[in-house]
Copies of this chain bind each other. A is one copy, B any other.
Amino acid sequence: MTATLDVFDRHESAVRSYIRSFPTVFTTAKGHLIHAEDGRQYIDFFAGAGALNYGHNDDGMKAALLDYIANDGITHALDMGTSAKARFLERFHEVILAPRGMEHRVLFPGPTGTNAVETALKLARKVTGREKIVSFTNAFHGMTLGSLAVTGNAFKRGGAGLPLDNTVFMPFADFIDGGFDSLDYLERMLAGGGSGMDMPAGVIVETVQGEGGINAASFGWLKRLNDLCARWDLPLIVDDVQAGCGRTGPFFSFEPAGIKPDIVCLSKSISGYGLPMALVLVRPDMDVFSPGEHNGTFRGNATAFVTATEALRFWTDDALSREVERKGAIIEEALTAMATKHPQLQPEVRGRGLMRGIALGVEGAADQVCAEAFANGVIMETSGPDSEVAKLLPPLTIPEDALREGLDIMARAVDTVAARIAGADRPAA
């Protein structure tokens, strides 16, 4: 262990996690590359778990940020009016909301995804006067008590130290194999006056479950869910914290489904630069909080507004969306090749846009692939309830050659792991 790594052992809580997968100390980063103290550089296929869709330290945002700070632009302003926030609101409306016909109001919760989700749940409950929330298997919405209750992962739930309540879990999309229709099931439970399902306050869903294992719902399923919610007058909350901001192609992940959710949660890449920021978009008639009924010290993080405004330059046309589509196809092809080559790993290729992964049915295989990739200069992580998915979330802006280079390293990692597993299974000569 280097001297610096030792610092974390001595002083930081045992809860630290990614530093265990990537045991090094990072210093600088640019675009798709991260540099470590020991001089090594890494291709970033993780992108801050989706918080760095535009890569590290984008020059446009960096310039705006440096300028703002250098000129003593107000940094912290609670929810007072600032010119930085005004510019963001106007630009966000102009570039994102108006062209999509969305009249939603922008609510700034605390600057994290879980804060956005907690706010959305409170709103849905206040609007309906009901308590239960429909969430889905393998959902991930955050670690604070309200968000954790709608999160599926048993390990994370166990951390609450309390029974987690007021949530009804329904099977997500294709969670159940073999022709089971999860939305017919949900509707049957809603319809039956004796089903035990109390009429819910709303439904929360990710269009592609990132932490849950790169499970992508079809657009048809999403549209049907949307229509079901409309039919039953249930607020539909899309948690677009990880899948939004272009990660799947369009700005909002739900656009191709042809729906306009009542409430949308954004965070991660909304600031563009990796700075803490979150938004809740609320249909005007559901914008029912009284002034200050929800608040938070850092909901006016002006430096994030500055970079977030600059980041909107990526959305004035559909160039980035098309790029995501193109690169997504490259990944899909590469993953499919790995799957075809190693059927004994029980592979399943998953995902949409630049939110991709390959599930490996052999226990521990995905973890080994990521470790091997890291050893060879690629940062990538697993997801899924059993860490069974090797996940790829590269910056949307990654150059094609770097993408291919990373995929090659990953493919060799899969080869290595497959060989190792085959070796372990082989009886001694």
Contacts and interface: CB of A to CB of B under 8 A. Distances in A.
Contacts of A137: 189, 192, 194-196
A276 interface: yes
A329 interface: no
Contact of A131 (B5, B129, B162): B162
Nearest to A177: B188
B62 A198 contact: no
Contacts of A226: none
A39 to B, nearest CB: 13
A86 B144 contact: no
Interface in A147-180: 147, 149-169, 171, 175-176, 179-180
Interface in A98-113: 105-113
B75 A56 contact: yes
Contact of A90 (B7, B56, B164): B7
Interface in A7-59: 7-8, 10-20, 22-30, 34, 37, 48-52, 56-57
Contacts of A147: 144-145
Q: Copies per complex?
A: 4
Interface stretch (A64-72, A248-256, A331-339): A64-72
Contacts of A188: 171, 175-176
A362 B152 CA distance: 40
Interface in A353-396: 384-386
A93 interface: yes
Interface residues of A, number: 155
A341 interface: no
B165 A194 contact: no
Contacts of A27: 73-74, 82-83
B169 A189 contact: yes
A295 interface: yes
A201 B161 CA distance: 10
Interface stretch (A284-292, A312-320, A415-423): A284-292
Contact of A112 (B5, B23, B115, B160): B115
Contact of A19 (B81, B115, B129): B81
Nearest to A170: B196
Contacts of A171: 185, 188-189
Contacts of A290: 14-15, 155
B193 A155 contact: yes
Nearest to A17: B292
A282 B86 contact: no
Contacts of A113: 296-297
Nearest to A46: B78
A294 interface: yes
A65 B57 contact: no
Contacts of A115: 110, 112, 114-115, 143-144
A230 interface: no
Contacts of A168: 169
A144 B149 CA distance: 12
B72 A69 contact: no
Contacts of A207: none
A311 interface: no
Nearest to A154: B193
Contacts of A74: 26-29, 34, 56
A24 B273 CA distance: 28
A6 to B, nearest CB: 9
Contacts of A51: 76, 297-298
20 contacts: A14-B287, A25-B86, A50-B297, A56-B76, A57-B72, A66-B66, A111-B111, A112-B298, A118-B144, A139-B196, A143-B296, A154-B194, A154-B199, A155-B193, A162-B166, A163-B166, A175-B188, A176-B185, A180-B180, A241-B297
